[in-house]
Amino acid sequence: MWRFQKCRGLALQRVLAIVCAVAFLLQGYDQSIMNGLVTLDTFLSTMPGIDTLHTTGSQEDHNANVQGATVAIYGP
């Protein structure tokens, strides 16, 4: 049986607030790590499809979309 199965009212609100706060903290940490990785030359040489530092024009736009999708998928 779940320990919090009978939580009601203020106790349930506190449990949910703690769980959500931890989830948001971990999501922010994951995003900050990934955002730091996508600017490293070694990472960009491994995954050139997300390089927005050394491209211009329509190629940069395309790579930015791929990079955004990659960062978004990594987080959850």
How would you classify residue 57: left for phi > 0, otherwise alpha for psi between -120 and 50, otherwise beta?
left
Q: What is the pLDDT of residue 72?
A: 79
Number of domains in the chain: 1
Whether residue 21 lies inside any domain: the answer is: no
Tell whether the model's pLDDT for residue 4 goes beyond 70.
Answer: no
Assess contact for 16 and 9: CB atoms under 8 A: no
Whether residue 45 lies inside any domain: the answer is: yes
Predicted TM-score (pTM) above 0.85: no
Whether residue 6 lies inside any domain: the answer is: no
The mean predicted confidence, pLDDT, of the chain is: 84
Angle between helices 57-74 and 9-37 (to 10 degrees): 140
Place of tokens 């990659």: 70
Residues of the chain with pLDDT > 90, as a percent, come to 22
Whether residue 39 lies inside any domain: the answer is: yes
* DSSP code string of 20-47: HHHHHHHHHHHHHHHHHHTT-HHHHHH-
Tell whether the model's pLDDT for residue 5 goes beyond 80.
Answer: no
Whether residue 62 lies inside any domain: the answer is: yes
Whether residue 67 lies inside any domain: the answer is: yes
Domain housing 62: 27-74
